[in-house]
Structures are given as structure tokens and as C-alpha cells.
Structure 1
């Protein structure tokens, strides 16, 4: 490995370290990674597809506009090496886009790729153990084979992307969980306050007051927290016969 290549690879791992912070921009990272793939693997272009919450592949990054349009075409027609790679979880390399036998099943994608000037393509899964979250597509404008060493590096870069994506999703899930927990705690405080207010208004015990406003909320299909806020701001005083 040349010194320049080692330096660029080091920079990639430094960029990966940045994914551990909460305000990390995963899209910017993946766009940079697509360009790093071009530099490190000596390919002409790269694109990254990612599965969304509904199990559908989406384009998230491309090294250039032609590749972006080609990947969108692949998704639109649901065909191409990246689509197959995602579904199988296995890589497909050294695909000759000019040979009908090697592009069987996605001839429209191959024709579009050739129009974009590409002659060879490779697809590598974004995978962590048995979980596949997307695929990395690499393209050559000249008939070129990806050697075993470069394939290993390509899979390593795909693994880096996977780690970054899953790290970001973990952070987002943690933030959502924390937000939901805080909302639940806040709602509980409001409920206790409303229960005390209603108990005083209706001369009830706290338990009796809670049963009254819970029955009121249920009979009207309201959330307890919404009913509690109405009691607190004085716009609602449920009766003992809702």
C-alpha cells in the first residue's frame, strides 16, 4: 500500500471517530466515504444505498451526479447489482456490463450504466454480522478487475459505513427513548397535580379524584395528560358521573 493510500485510509478512520458524537452528520459522512472509495480503490465512481424504516432501499450518497442518477434508475426499476447484493447479503464483483450473460435479469440497468460510460461494476453489502442495511456500488469506466486485496478493503469501507449508520441510529433511538421517558415523567407530575386540584374541588380523596378524571378521559377518548392539563387550567371540572 502506498504512503498516499495509507494516509487517505487513516483519514477515513479519523472521520469514523467523529461518528461517535451526537451531532454527527451521517449523510455528509457517507458522501465523503463514497469519494474516499474512488480514491482508495482506484474506481471511477461509487454509490451507497441504505434501507429505510420500511425496508425499502434509498440512495444516500454518490461520488458524482451520473452515479446518483444511475442508482436512482436502479431503484426505480428494482434491478442492478446493488439491489441483488442487498437482498442476498453477499458481494458481487467484476461484473462486465458489456456482457449479456453477466447482466441477466437487469439488462435495463446495464444499458443505462453503459450510457453513463461504465463498463465494470462491483457491489458490496453494508453488513454487520447477519444484518444488512444497504450496499456499496463501485464502477469502472475501463475494463478493470477488483483484486482480492481491494475487495477486502472495499468490504472494510462498507463495514465502516455500516458501523456509522448503526451508531447514528442507536443515538437517535436513545434520544427518542430519553425524550419519551422525560415526557412520561412530566405527564406523571401533571397527573398528580390535577388529582390534587380535583380532590379539593369535589371534596374527594386523591384516589377517588383520579378515578373520576380517568373515567372522564376514557369516556371521551382523551389522554390522561390532556384531561389533567384541562383540570389544571380550570377549563374542566369532571363530575362524579361522567
Structure 2
């Protein structure tokens, strides 16, 4: 370990530091450690935020999060479970293979801190898994066999919506201090925002695609109405009714029939050929 050294004035002999010098040295070291810690935290959050861009890879983002949890908190491993569309938790990321297997064990046996955390929407802690046999008999045994003696589960939630939970594992018994818990929850919140951002983006893209498809279909239908009106000498309303009736009678999408009409496809010749009689149009 590095130690500060002081020297007697006028000679090259070392001397013991005064209490004031010792105090100043400790303050300087603590300040340097605090600055380094703040820089590390800022770097981690910037790194996570940088992943929230186009082409966002959810799995890579969550794996990075578990790695940063281990790096920044007083823990030895981390795992993350997310709920699917039916509300069932699924393993998404883990910092180690042991943590991954333990998370899978938790899901398969339907017991453990992450499941309790997700159900209650509140943090769940166990300072000593050796004394948790009554609470989680199978999970506690499996966790100890994997080398973990303490666990903390944090909810992934935003404005009342919970999407999963994060497990923080420790080899030694004991609890996380308040600062570590606060930071751990902040990291879980970052993950939650990232996931919800990705889902909202995906939903907006799907909605935009559906809207564009509807607009394209509307254009085709208008064009097909014009074709029928011209060939069959019909009014536009009657042309639409005829087009719709044909689609229903043949169990086809209206937009598909409209496209076939505009492309003069032979499979709708009975509809577009003015020499062929029209079937009576449905009125519903």
C-alpha cells in the first residue's frame, strides 16, 4: 500500500507525519476516491444512455446493465428477468453463467426473490440465504450451492407499470448499504426506461406501417372504383358497392380485389369485363 512520507528539514531522514498532515492526506485521498467514483458513475450512465438509439439491441443493453451493476455495487453477480406479453417472467440477461442458471432455476421452481419482487412491486432482500430455507427452500439451497449467501431484488417499474425485476447476488452474507441500494434502483430505472422506450418505438413503427398500408389500400380502392365505373358505366358509389360485394362473395380482401382490378388481372375478369353480367351486389 502506498504511504505518504515526510522528511526532517535539513536532513534526509524520514519522520512521522503530524496529526494535521495525516488528516490532510486522508482528506485528499478520500476526495480523489470520491471524484473517481463520480466519474465512474457518470461514465456508466452515459454508456447506458448511448445505447438508446436507432437499432437498439435490448439483449446487449441488459447484459451491459448487469455488468455495470457488478462493477458499481458491492455485489458479485446480477441477473435480470422481464415479463412477456402474458405477464410471465423470462430470463433476459445475467453477468455470469452461475447467475444465469440460478435465475432459470428460480423460474422453473416458481420461487425466489425476483418473483416476489415482481408480484409485490417492492424491493425484496435476504441478508443470509442460509436462514431462508422456510422462505425459499429450493432457491436458497441452489443459491448457496452456487456460492451466493445474500440477494437483493429490485423492481423494474415506471409510473405504476412493472416490467420485471433485477437480482443482485453477493458471496458474503449482509445487506447493501443505502447508497448502493439507491444506485441499484437507479440502474434498474434506467433499464426500465430503455425497455419501455424500445417498446414504444416498436409500437409507433407498427402503427405507422398499419396506417401507411391503410392509405395504400384506400388509393387502390379509389383507382379500382374508377376502372369499374368507366368499364361498367357505373356511378362511383355503385362501383364501390360492386367491388365490395365481389370481395365478400369470394372471401377476399377488398384491397386485394382492388389491386387485381387495377392490374387487369384475369382472375377478376368477370368483374371488369363489361360483356359479363354482374352478380347482384350485397347491400349490407
Q: How many angstroms does 1:19 deviate by?
A: 4.3
Residue 70 of structure 1 is matched in structure 2 by 102
**1:1-242 aligned within 5 A:** 2-99=34-131, 102-233=132-263, 234=265, 235-237=267-269, 238=271, 239-241=278-280
Shift of 1:22: 2.3
Q: Tell me the SS of whatever aligns to 2:147.
A: coil
Larger radius of gyration: 2
Q: Higher relative CO (CA 8 A, sep ≥ 6), structure 1 or 2? A: 1
2:59 and 2:138 mapped to 1: Cα distance? 28
Using structure 1 for the length normalisation, give the TM-score: 0.93
Distance 1:103 1:231, change over 3 A: farther
Q: CA RMSD in A?
A: 1.6
Comparing 153-162 with 230-239, greater Cα deviation is found at 230-239
Once residues 105 and 93 of structure 1 are traced to their aligned partners in structure 2, the CA distance between those partners, rounded to angstroms, is 12
Contact 1:62 1:68 in 2 (8 A): yes
Render the CA deviation track for 1:89-115: whole Å, top value 9, x for unaligned. 00012442111xx34342111111111
Task: Give the drift of 1:35.
Answer: 0.5
* Residues 19 and 168 in structure 1, CA contact (< 8 A), matched pair in contact too: no
User: What's the secondary structure of 1:213's corresponding residue?
Assistant: helix
Aligned-partner Cα distance in 2 for 1:74–1:188:
51
Question: In structure 2, how many angstroms separate the alpha carbons of the residues matched to 1:15 and 1:175?
Answer: 25
CA distance in 2, matches of 1:9, 1:221: 60
Runs of 4+ in structure 1 off by over 6 angstroms are: none
Distance 2:192 2:141 in 1: 30
Contact 2:77 / 2:169 at 8 angstroms: preserved in 1?
yes
**Please, which runs of 5 or more residues in structure 1 have no aligned partner?**
none
Unaligned 5+ segments in structure 2 are 1-32, 272-277
Q: Which residue of 1 aligns with 2:24?
A: none
Distance 1:199 1:80, change over 3 A: same
Secondary structure at the residue paired with 2:130? Answer: coil
- Figure out how many residues of one structure are paired with residues of the other and give that number: 240
